[in-house]
A and B are shown apart, each in its own frame.
Chain A
Amino acid sequence: MSNYQVGQKGNGTRAGVKTWGKMLFYIVIGGVVGGTASMLILILRETGGFTGLDGIYEEMLKWMPAVQTAAFLILFLPSLVYYIRAARGMKRMYSDEEDEQNDQDQGKAMLISSTNIIVEFLLFGLAADPDYDGMMVSVGLFFVFTIICCIQQALLVFQIKRRTPIMKGDPLSWNFQKEWEGSMDEATKMITYRSGYKAYLVVQKGQLLFSVLAVIGRMLLSTGAFPVIISCGLWLVGNTVYTKNAMKNKLE
């Protein structure tokens, strides 16, 4: 065995000890954080701290149609402004800087509009309470607001297609995602895949946290098994789809 190999082995052993040490440290930290959180939740439950949260939820439920409308308008109006700005900018595209600004406006409009749909879905989920008298009003508002957001997103897609003629796909078609991805050029594909990977990493970390919270909630707050099943199910699907595609080792 040469000196180089001996040195490598020595470094490997040191690195191994360091990795195990780190792992042990994280386990201890995780235990301390989990234990402290559980203790805090127990104290809050014993002292009636969660009754306050129930009160806030019940009060919000009374005003749910107004809350839904306000949330929709707060997010819809800025996205509309960005959409109109991008549309106006398209009529007078002269410089590269103006083009860049238009891209930014379109991106912001799309992001805010998508956020609007998620927020509306969240409020709809909170209003879907069998004991809530105004549930049907909330359901109606949810449908109206979501349809408006979907129309806005379709208009944004048409706008992007006008600006970038290589992009293909009908937003009303079931194959839209596939056609859209297929028409992307090499740099756009790279940005999209990189963003997708970053989102995957964030969601993986989020799933771990959410699963722990779901287990703590089940033990201490009687939230039931459903959140644990959903969280771990999504975690499993995300992980399997990513790993299976990475193992294919080919570009489609």
Chain B
Amino acid sequence: MTRRQRLAALVAGIASSGSAFGQIAVTGATVHTAAGEPLKNAVVVIEDRKISQVGPADEIEIPDGFRTLTAAVVTPGLIDARSTIGLSGYLNQEHDQDQIEASAPMQPELRAIDAYNPREALVEWVRGYGVTTVHTGHAPRSLVSGQTAVMKTRGLTVEEAVVKPLAMIAATVGDGARERGNKAPGTRAKMAAMLRAELIKTREYLDRRSAEDEDGHPDRDLRLEALGEVLESNVPLLVTAQRTQDILTVLRIREEFDIPVVLDGVAEAYDVLDQIRDAGVSVIVHPAMMRAQGETENLSFETAARLRDAGIPIALQGGYEPYVPKSRLVLFEAGVAAAHGLGFDDALRSITINAARLLGVDDRIGSIEVGKDGDIALYDGDPFEYSTHCVAVIIEGEVVSEELR
């Protein structure tokens, strides 16, 4: 059993040890399942954490004793495809900022599960608006900042929250990765050189580790082990790149090492759409309302729509913020993207099923289908409209919020 398999088994054990969760039914005037056309006047039944029935109200009998919640609009629980919540606390004081470790520019061994605080106020905050899953972890702004994980926005411990303990390894190419003073990397070319050197070193480490002669095996090296997961194509390198030149640098390195890459941000993607599509890379688009300044000065409200039009798989994100607001709500970002060319359906898919696919968790979440986790968000109108409220949120059959938000 590898370390990864052991961890997966541990997590699975925790997940199945919970008691039977609420028996809940949800009725909606419109149910957006993210698996086909929206259903009118439909019912979703959740039993033992999972969705057991979905269909028109007149065809489904809600079992006796089930609590029923009703709303105008029902969606799958929302997924924020790139966040730092749980690591970057809302007070923004030194003690609650664990998203960046400044001691070295490349630290892929830093695990998100060792930093995630499930009781952080922003976890509860985004959940109240319907976000039931976050891909969170180490922030951009360091060449290789650390690992990310997929979490449900529930639970009092990281073990209760975690869906995928190692989702991606976060990297940045561009101004964000520039170190100050005389520390490397101080330039873009140095960033690429350091990344390449590290990947070469990791490959050599993997080769030695798999040598037949066990005497030749290297001592364990957490850093190379972690980056080795990328070289072995077990997890993607999630690279934040905003400028055109940085996006192309990432694609160049991807090709050289034949590694899985997910692009993050891509403020200037509109000028390199063909290259991104031809590389077969998925993109987690910068928040629509991200500030246009510095290396993101050329971003557009329409970036998501342009990528979609080019046939590139996308998901949307709340992203990372160093100041106010400390966390963006992916629901609001999707609304602005929807209004700026992406449209309602694709915007919703970008924070549900398409995000789940990009994160490799679509077997469990992302749509309202029988057998999937009972993660549901309820709204009193169009979820993207400014003045609509989220009225209830359900995670794995448990009503986790009923506050009007």
Q: Do the two chains belong together in a single complex?
A: no
